[in-house]
Amino acid sequence: MNILQRVRKGDDGVLVFGNHPAVVQSILDFDYLSGKKEPSVVGIIAGNRSAQKFFFGKSEILVPCFKSVADIPKHLRPRVQWMLNLQSGRRAYESTVAFFEAFPQALGGHIFAENMPEMQATELIARFGRKHLIAGPSGVGILVPGHLKLGAIGGVDMHQIEAGKLSTAGSVAVVSTSGGMTNELIRAVAAAEKRVSFSVAIGGDRFPVTSLTDVLKLAQNDEATKAIVYFGELGGSDEYEIVEMLKTRTLTKPVLCYIAGIIDEAFDEHMQFGHAKALVARKDESARAKREALREAGALAPETFPEFLREMARLPSAPVRLPAAKRSRVAQAGDRVVDIMSLTNRQKSILSTREIVDLDAVPQFVRGGKLAKQKDNGFAAAALSALLGSEVSPVTAAFVENIFELLIDHGGHVSGAVNTMVTARAGRDMVSSLAAGLLTVGPRFGGAVNAAAEQWLDGVAQDADAADFVEARTKKGALLAGIGHRKYRVGLGDPRVAALSGFAKLLKKHPHYDFARDVEKVTTRKSGSLILNVDGVMAALLLDILAEKEGYSAAQLQKLTEAEFFNALFIIPRTVGFIAHFIEQKQNDEGLFRLPDELLFERKKGPKKGE
């Protein structure tokens, strides 16, 4: 199965390098107008964000962004078949190499940038030119109508995509070194009441990665392609590749060519026209010499562009003849009709959010006058579904339910509860009092869960020795999150830790929990109070549970720590505890709280007047 056949069967996943929103959006519009169920753009390599906002039809979507190809998650990798490199000429080489080394089975790509150093371009030819279909450097990309739009090819506006009939597969291949003229030819083919089978803008730099010969072989072997339209210009020797293929009968399909640049003959010396190789260095590189050589080999090579367009209308493609009224709209049987006017006034939202709770799915607790039995751990499962964006396994839900029940309160003497109560007694409302308590949550109170998760994740990733790990952190003056307790110690363990530790028996492997316990063995040799506390055990076990039961990779777990997900497991239940303390203070109504004078430090008198 060749490349075009694979694309037509659905191998369309594109990984984009660099930030060019208009080009990416045009690909998504092409996908939608072609009737695809999901976008072909898999992700964007752009290190300064996690996602970028686009539209798929009328719906707003977030395309994930990654810092490098190594960060592409496993579930996305099988879809990646194409590279769209929109980076500058000085960066495109390294990222192209990185892509094909990471995805050696990919079908190809497009390098958008002009002026890539010629040494780098020739290196890409040697390494990847025969294995992959790579358009560029310098061009607009690759098009397989209805299936793949790789780059700005065919235009970046929905009206251009519609006018070029890019959603409809046809039988005329469009090939050119010029990106701009590739788009013009695609539009001209549609205007001639024909449709494009595929198109490649080879690239205007001196050394394109995929040669003209390779593209023409693709057209020759493509059953859908019945004729080839080519635009060339003065300078270079590309057209002589066509001549050789026609003479040797390697290429037997009709070829219609237009070679621009006759105007060069009006000047006293040869002029540079646009592209790097559009300069006559020898007599046989002139536009006239190329036209004559092509005609002698059997190609159609008209003298003027209007003649070229008239010949295009005569190419074999079995066009469907329609009444004049419909023909004026350049429509053929099989054209996908979409109301693009409804898509022209799209406006991006200010904030991106998903529907966390389905407001139409109202749970019923009473049925037939009786209390209906509810799912066990229902609140925990619903909370996790909201936080993670997907349903979770019973083990994960049960573990978090256990955490919620254990962490609702830890007495009124802890700082968060104190702040809540003091604010309540100052006459403030529930939200203000709760906010005062929650603002106390941080590295010294409640915020150690996420820090512990980062710590255990780092230790396991490094396959670190626990003693060396502890020594390295203490030398840096860093605290060991999740280790130590004021009340509990060796021989008098925290019952909450014992309760949660039972979940380790439900797992096949628990490397983060094991590492945390190994660290505890080291720290308790220094002090009996440096035990694994509830923050440390819930972080370690939840890492293991998410990895085994939910299929999270180390990179995905790292993302959760960056978003402070693990601290939510303290904040959610403790919010209930703070509210309970607030209600109690409101019911007691003891008035404004003040510290007794005897509990204050001795006040120092200020300096006397004149001193």
In tens, the pLDDT along 61-91 reads: 999 999 999 999 999 999 999 999 999 998 9
Sheet of 51-56: strands edge to edge?
51-56, 59-66, 41-45, 13-17, 80-85, 108-111, 133-135
Q: Give the model's pLDDT for residue 262.
A: 80
Contact (CB, 8 A) for 25 and 343: no
Share of the chain above pLDDT 90, in %: 66
Averaged over 291-317, what is the pLDDT? 94
- pTM comes to 0.73
Q: Give the model's pLDDT for residue 319.
A: 45
pLDDT tier, 322 (very low <50, low <70, confident <90, very high otherwise): very low
Q: SS3 helix, strand, coil % of the chain, rounded to 5?
A: 45, 15, 45
Contact (CB, 8 A) for 110 and 150: yes
pLDDT in tens, 41-56: 999 998 778 889 999 9
Q: Which two tokens mark 518?
A: 């190994």
Residue type, 278: A
Decide if pLDDT at 25 tops 80: yes
The contacts of residue 149 (CB under 8 Å, 6+ apart) are 26, 27, 30, 31, 40, 141, 143, 161, 166
The burial class, CB within 10 Å (0-12 / 13-18 / 19+), for 602 is exposed
Contact (CB, 8 A) for 416 and 437: yes
d(CA 76, CA 72) in angstroms, rounded, equals 7
If we measure between CA atoms, which residue out of 182, 139, 181, 188 comes closest to residue 165? 188
DSSP SS3 for 89: helix
Q: Give the model's pLDDT for residue 49.
A: 80
Q: Which class would CATH give 383-407+441-563?
A: mainly alpha
If we measure between CA atoms, which residue out of 26, 20, 310 comes closest to residue 148? 26
Write the CA distances from 58 to 29, 61, 161, 341, 343, integer angstroms: 10, 10, 16, 11, 6
Q: Give the model's pLDDT for residue 106.
A: 97
User: Which stretches of 444-493 are DSSP H helices?
Assistant: 448-461, 466-475
| Catalytic center residues | 275
Q: Give the model's pLDDT for residue 273.
A: 55
Could you give the residue range(s) of every CATH 3.40.50.261 domain in the chain? 3-320
Q: What are phi and psi of 232, to 5 degrees?
A: -130, -175
Q: Which two tokens mark 241?
A: 């590749």
pLDDT in tens, 94-135: 999 999 999 999 999 999 999 899 999 999 999 998 899 999
Query: How much is the mean pLDDT over the chain?
Result: 88
N-to-C CA span, the chain: 97
Residue type, 588: N
d(CA 443, CA 534) in angstroms, rounded, equals 14
Contact (CB, 8 A) for 168 and 145: yes
DSSP SS3 for 200: strand
CATH 3.90.550.10, applies to 3-320: no
pLDDT in tens, 196-222: 999 999 998 889 999 999 999 999 999
If we measure between CA atoms, which residue out of 447, 442, 456 comes closest to residue 543? 456
If we measure between CA atoms, which residue out of 607, 547, 574 comes closest to residue 74? 547
How large is the angle between the packed helices 394-407 and 534-549, nearest 10 degrees?
170
DSSP string, 498-567: HHHHGGGGG-S--HHHHHHHHHHHHHTTT-TT--B-HHHHHHHHHHHHHHHHS---HHHHHHHHHTTHHH
**Among the ranges given (310-324, 394-408, 520-534), the one the predictor scored with the smallest mean pLDDT:** 310-324
Could you give the residue range(s) of every CATH 1.10.230.10 domain in the chain? 383-407+441-563
pLDDT tier, 321 (very low <50, low <70, confident <90, very high otherwise): very low
d(CA 488, CA 370) in angstroms, rounded, equals 44
pLDDT tier, 445 (very low <50, low <70, confident <90, very high otherwise): confident
Sheet of 196-201: strands edge to edge?
148-150, 142-144, 196-201, 172-176, 227-233, 255-260
Maximum mean pLDDT: which of 106-110, 201-205, 401-405, 475-479: 106-110
pLDDT in tens, 323-348: 343 333 444 556 877 778 888 888 88
Decide if pLDDT at 276 tops 60: no
Q: Give the model's pLDDT for residue 184.
A: 96
Q: Give the model's pLDDT for residue 360.
A: 61
Q: Which two tokens mark 23?
A: 């080009």
| Preceding peptide of 78 cis, ω within 30° | no
If we measure between CA atoms, which residue out of 149, 84, 89 comes closest to residue 120? 89
Q: Give the model's pLDDT for residue 459.
A: 96
DSSP SS3 for 306: helix
Q: Give the model's pLDDT for residue 277.
A: 47
